[in-house]
Amino acid sequence: MRAMKKYSLFILLFFNILAGYSQEQQSQSLKLSREEIEVLFLKNNLQLIAEKFNIDIADAAIVQARLWDNPTLSIEGMNLWSTKSQRDEIEDMVTSSFVKNTEFSIELSQLILTANKRGKLIRREKVSKEIARQEFEKILRGLKAELRKSIYETQYLQAYLNILMNQRQSVNQLVESHRKQVLQGNIAKSELLRLQSSLLDLENEINDTQLDLEEQRKTLKILLNIDPFTHIEVADDPDTEKNPDNIILSDLLYIADESRPDMKQYKLQTQYYQRSLDYEKSQRIPNINISASYDRYGGVWKDFVGFGVSIDLPFFNRNQGNIKAAKLSIDQSQYLSQQQHSIIRHEITTAYNSYLHTYNFYKKIENNSLFSELDGMLDVYTKNLQYRNIGMLEYVDFMDTYKSSKQTMLTAKKNVSIQFEELQYTVGTDIK
């Protein structure tokens, strides 16, 4: 009985510890700056870690290309039985009893590659490794752009949610004061209902904003490989966007040619097919196979040792099809490279013009003194309604204007950050 009590106590203690650990897990919170998020991303993102293996796989292909072909050992002509006359004849020549009745031949051969085929294959695989590296850079570039856009969306939703919360707090105070006034018979109940309706609309928008914010946080946690129980918050960063007047479009076009991993891939693909052409041309020259053999009782001599050389005669197959395919692949990749170059120039020009318009609009809003006075005006309008200095319609109209103006400013700030990131994405590197 005492043992059962101890066992029950142990089980209860275990579940209490487990519950406490679970609550601790759920209560973990991280507030990270953009720089800290990017450091975590480069360290923890599972897709990047997996993609890096392709570079190691390409390295392994280079190691494999360096290896010689294995020599071939063959044993032939071994008899598994013999007649009496054969045994009598062999006994006259052999006094040892070891395999005295067995005839066999052994041959050792080695393939020798000609025309530096191995070196050409190694050079082709090295280009393949560079293509794998650029593929990694392309995926990194795409994921980094997705991460940064998610950061800006999260910052926007956090800021907009704070605005809605502040509005809710002000409307809540008014609802409570109006409820008391209605009970005292000082104001009409319709005014209270109008405030409660506005409060309900606010609650609905807060709920929608929180859902959008959770979706963005989910995206961030997946990209950072963070535990789903962790609450993540993005700290506000100072504006880092550059004035488009200080960005030279022609410089961006030049930088993109040297930085865009997809452009490098197309160039490397042409180089890969050129290496393939060299390799396929070398295949026209036949390889040499050298061999050494030993034959026991297979011919005139009891123990025969011989050497041989064999070579294909390239009368019919001179690898014409593969050579032609490699030449056509070079021409094809050159046209595709030119097309990609044209696409990149148009992408950068469009992204630059879009950033220019977005930046100018944001600066126009930022310099408007009215937007900086909105928070103070909210308190003024709330107090004036409490003191009956303004009507309900005027207050509700201001609240709509306040929310719309704040949202416009936050959206403009988010858009200029996202558009700047889009410009950096099209260039292929961070704009210094």
Report the pLDDT value the prediction gives residue 174, as an integer from 0 to 100. 86
User: Contact at 8 Å (CB) between 355 and 417?
Assistant: no
Phi and psi at 315, nearest 5°, equal: -85, -40
Q: 349: helix, coil or strand?
A: helix
Statement: 35-69+113-284+319-427 belongs to CATH 1.10.760.10: no
Residues 6 or more apart whose Cβ sits within 8 Å of residue 29: 230, 231, 232, 233
Low-confidence residues in the chain, pLDDT < 70: 1-27, 79-101, 369, 371-372
Phi and psi at 368, nearest 5°, equal: -80, 120
Residue type, 105: S
Q: Helices 249-259 and 261-282: crossing angle, nearest 10°?
A: 40
Tell me how far CA of residue 142 lies from CA of 148, 216, 260, in angstroms. Answer: 10, 17, 11
Report the pLDDT value the prediction gives residue 21, as an integer from 0 to 100. 45
Rounded Cα gap, residues 213 and 33, in angstroms: 17
Report the pLDDT value the prediction gives residue 291, as an integer from 0 to 100. 95
Report the pLDDT value the prediction gives residue 10, as an integer from 0 to 100. 45
Report the pLDDT value the prediction gives residue 187, as an integer from 0 to 100. 82
Say what the pTM is. Answer: 0.84
Report the pLDDT value the prediction gives residue 188, as an integer from 0 to 100. 82
User: Contact at 8 Å (CB) between 313 and 285?
Assistant: no
